[in-house]
Amino acid sequence: MSAAKKKAPAKKRVAARKRGRPTIEITQRAHRAIVRWLKDGNYFVDACAVAGYRPQIARQWLLRGGREIERRDAGKVAQSAEEPYVRFLLAVEKAEAHSKATAVRQLTGAGREDWRAALAYLERKFPREWGQRINHHVDEELNAFLNRLEANLPADVYAKVLRAADGPAGEGSPSEAPPRD
């Protein structure tokens, strides 16, 4: 056979590569480390950083777990490859709930010895009943002041006062006053 008639070697098929960044799979080490820091009361971002993982990656793990739970709730068959992400999501939720419950127990226990701790708890837990009403008090005083002005000033002067008060921000404030000669 001549060299011209030889067949070219067949090209090997190359599997199509996925686009984007490769997925970082969750490990037991990552799971345990992040959950441990969350249980101690740390924010998610900080727990991930201390454990040595980027929060964006760990959030993707949570999303995968959430999607798998939604699939299962919709009656679809569980995908075993997604089980670590489901366990991670449930463990994160449990750790965060545990840290809150621990803090509440400490706070309510401190309230027995220091009334301010109990008040702080009540203000946050039941803000409508126990929250500070500073804004409401200021509004009441401002309305009373405006009513006194309206009652004691001529209508045209009262209107000028309202226009001046409604002027552009910073206008008329002492820091904006023109320099003296």
Model confidence over 45-82: pLDDT tens digits? 999 999 999 999 999 999 999 999 999 999 999 999 99
Q: How far apart are CA 47 and CA 53, in angstroms?
A: 9
Q: Write out the E strands in the chain.
A: none
pLDDT band at 8 (very low <50, low <70, confident <90, very high): low
Residue given tokens 């803090």 in the structure block: 103
Examine the domain organization and report whether 120 and 146 are in the same domain: no
Residue 142 lies in a domain: yes
Residue 122: other Cβ atoms inside 10 A: 14
**Closest by alpha carbon to 94, among 174, 150, 36?**
36
Name the phi and psi angles at 17, rounded to 5: -90, 145
Examine the domain organization and report whether 32 and 97 are in the same domain: yes
Examine the domain organization and report whether 42 and 75 are in the same domain: yes
Q: What is the pLDDT of residue 180?
A: 43
Examine the domain organization and report whether 86 and 163 are in the same domain: no
pLDDT band at 168 (very low <50, low <70, confident <90, very high): low
Residue 86 lies in a domain: yes
Tokens (6 digits) for 23: 């997925």
Tokens (6 digits) for 63: 């999303």
The least confident of 6-10, 109-113, 171-175 is 171-175
Q: Domain range spanning residue 149?
A: 134-167
Examine the domain organization and report whether 61 and 124 are in the same domain: yes
Residue 178 has pLDDT above 60, yes or no: no
- Sign of the CA dihedral with 98 first, then 104, 107, and 113 last: negative
* Number of domains composing the chain: 2
Residue 178 lies in a domain: no
